Copies of this chain bind each other. A is one copy, B any other.
Amino acid sequence: MSVALVFSILDFAGIFFFAATGGILSARKQLDPFGAAVIGAVTGMGGGTVRDIVLGRLPVYWVESPEYLAVAVAGGIIGYYGSEIVRGEIGARRAAMIWADAIGLSVFCVIGAQAGLSVGAHWSIAMLTGVMSAAFGGLLRDVILNDVPLILRAEIYALAALFGAGLYVLAVALGLGEGTAAIAGALGAFVIRGCAIRFGWSIPTIGKLD
**A97-109 vs B: 1/0 string, CB under 8 Å?**
0000000000000
- Which stretch (A7-15, A124-132, A169-177) binds chain B? A124-132
Bound complex: CA A162 to CA B41 (Å): 14
Interface size class of A (residues with CB under 8 A): 35 or more
Cβ-defined contact, A59 with B205, below 8 A: no
Contact sample, A vs B, 6 pairs, CB 8 Å cutoff: A30-B206, A53-B54, A63-B119, A83-B206, A143-B144, A144-B149
Cβ-defined contact, B125 with A66, below 8 A: yes
Cβ-defined contact, A55 with B54, below 8 A: no
Cβ-defined contact, B158 with A152, below 8 A: no
Cβ-defined contact, A30 with B63, below 8 A: no
Nearest-CB distance from A105 to chain B (Å)? 13
CB within 8 Å for A60 and B69 given contacts A32-B203, A135-B38, A159-B34: no
Bound complex: CA A142 to CA B182 (Å): 34
* Chain A 31-46 interface residues, beta-carbon cutoff 8 Å to B: 31-35, 37-38, 41
A39 nearest CB neighbor, chain B only: B151
Set of chain B residues within 8 Å of A151, measured between Cβ atoms: 31, 35, 38, 144
Which of A34, A83, A159 has most B Cβ within 10 Å? A34
Cβ-defined contact, A209 with B69, below 8 A: no
Cβ-defined contact, A146 with B135, below 8 A: no
Partner of A209, one of B70, B87, B157, B207: B87
Asked whether any CB of chain B lies closer than 8 Å to the CB of A122, the reply is yes
Set of chain B residues within 8 Å of A207, measured between Cβ atoms: 30
Set of chain B residues within 8 Å of A210, measured between Cβ atoms: 88, 90
Set of chain B residues within 8 Å of A156, measured between Cβ atoms: 32, 34
Partner of A60, one of B34, B54, B88, B162: B54
Asked whether any CB of chain B lies closer than 8 Å to the CB of A20, the reply is no
Set of chain B residues within 8 Å of A152, measured between Cβ atoms: 29, 31, 35, 145-146
